[in-house]
Amino acid sequence: MKADLIATRQAIRAGTSHPLAVAEACLSVAQSPVCAHTFMQLTPEALQHAALEPQVAQSPLAGLAVSIKDLFDVHGQITQAGSVVLKNQAPARADSVAVARLRAAGAGLIGRTHMVEFAFSGVGTNPHYGTPAAWDGLYDRAVGAPGQPHVPGGSSSGAAVSVATGAAFIGLGSDTGGSIRVPAALNGIVGFKSTARRVPTQGAYPLSISLDTVCAMTRSVRDTILAHEVMSARQVPRGQRPLADYRLAVVRSLMQDGMDPVVTQTFERSLKTLRSAGARIDEISLSELNELAPMMNTGGFSPAEGFAWHRERIERENERYDPRVLQRLMRGSSMKAHEYMDLVQARQSWIARVEAALVGYDAVLSPTTPITAPTIGQVAPGAERDAEFFRVNGLLLRNTRAVNTLDGCGISLPCHAPGELPVGLMAWHAAMHDDTILQLALLLEPLLQSH
């Protein structure tokens, strides 16, 4: 396990490491083959400048490397959102709110990371700029030999790989249907989706104004809390409750449908480990989850709101879009105004009923994704692989998307053993339960790493 940000910051403050030396090590990884297709743009000068600031060691982020998803405005840089459509846009005139807060906290900006075009997929492929390989998919840990590269998950693909490989300590990204938690799960790192209203979205290219959430991936839960505190401009209280004081739930319906054998084995082993440590876990029937597909039968928020953003551009230059992204955006073109309003009202009613059903529980535990990452070759760009791509995309996003629809919060924690493909365990709840989820995650993390 690579040292996390807080451990590295402690070493800097103790005088056993220096921010510039850490910066050079991160840049070395970022420029190596393990980070192929991970960065749209590297900014070594910005990282080195932050590392040399006189008081940087005392700042919360200590000048350490933070990567920025190509969705966020950074002053003087072009925000392309993983597309060729926006490559000739004017550079941003100011930092997005999230970037400004990270910079003010002492972040060293190492560069812009690859992403799915316009953030509209959970798989992580991009036909324009290439697809980074999931870190644990690059090598067969069991035999120490190169293996078939696996998809990194999306849409924050490069952000996840930058953290997993050691190029960055924090990967700034976004989560509209799972775009933080899915790549975190497939790369064996931590990804936290906060309640959407916690962090302003100003300066981030939008997909869905109803669902977009600004959040990050890290190497540890304590780093996740630090990143969330910086971006949300609030303190997370540190809890003293033992694990046995939390009341946890497991839902079999939807969340565990169609799980592959690896995820099933890993998830059940994780529940057994937690129960052995004193966790109280009830199996509950949350039948409301089965209403999600019928509720979204007209397309859902992301296609409708995404198409509204892209309508005029699609009319001018649709041939420049990723065909798979374009296909999903065009699903929103046929939604009528009354259907959209019905969807808004149906969601509000659904949220109220799910919140009522979860009263008395501190969190629900589910697999982050029901399947492990397929190889890049299985879903690479190409019409002959479209059917498999859309099947995989639906499965990867299914569980996480339920939490976004709930306007909730959730964290993905790695729960696989060494030598296994990464699997994530997601702890989640409704809106504004962020602090409880983070406090619980601090307790779960060492237990899940122990098996």
- Give catalytic residues, as residue numbers: 69, 155, 179
The one-letter amino acid code at 252 reads R
Long-range contacts of 333-341 (CB under 8 A, 24+ apart): 333/307, 334/299, 335/298, 335/299, 335/303, 335/304, 335/307, 339/298, 340/304
Cβ atoms < 10 Å from Cβ of 9: 26
State the DSSP H helix or E strand holding residue 378, giving kind and residue range, or none if neither: helix 376-379
Handedness of CA 41, 188, 190, 64 (dihedral sign): negative
β-pairing, 247-251 vs 280-284, is parallel
DSSP string covering 10-75, please?
HHHHHTSS-HHHHHHHHHHHHTSGGGTTTEEEE-HHHHHHHHT-TTGGGSTTTT-EEEEETTB--T
Assess contact for 367 and 442: CB atoms under 8 A: no
In 3D space, the residue among 305, 300, 330 whose CA is nearest the CA of residue 318 turns out to be: 330
CB 148 within 8 A of CB 378: no
Q: Do 222 and 442 form a contact (C-beta atoms < 8 A)?
A: yes
C-alpha–C-alpha distance, residues 451 and 449, integer Å: 6
Give one DSSP letter per residue of 191-255, joined into a string.
EEE--GGGS--TTB--S-TTT--EEEEESSHHHHHHHHHHHHTSPPPPP---GGG-EEEEE-TTT
| Cβ–Cβ < 8 Å for 212, 176 | yes
- In this structure, are strands 409-414 and 190-193 parallel, antiparallel, or unpaired? antiparallel
- Rounded Cα–Cα distance for residues 119 and 113 (Å): 12
Amino acid at 398: R
What is the rounded CA–CA span in Å between residue 270 and residue 57? 37
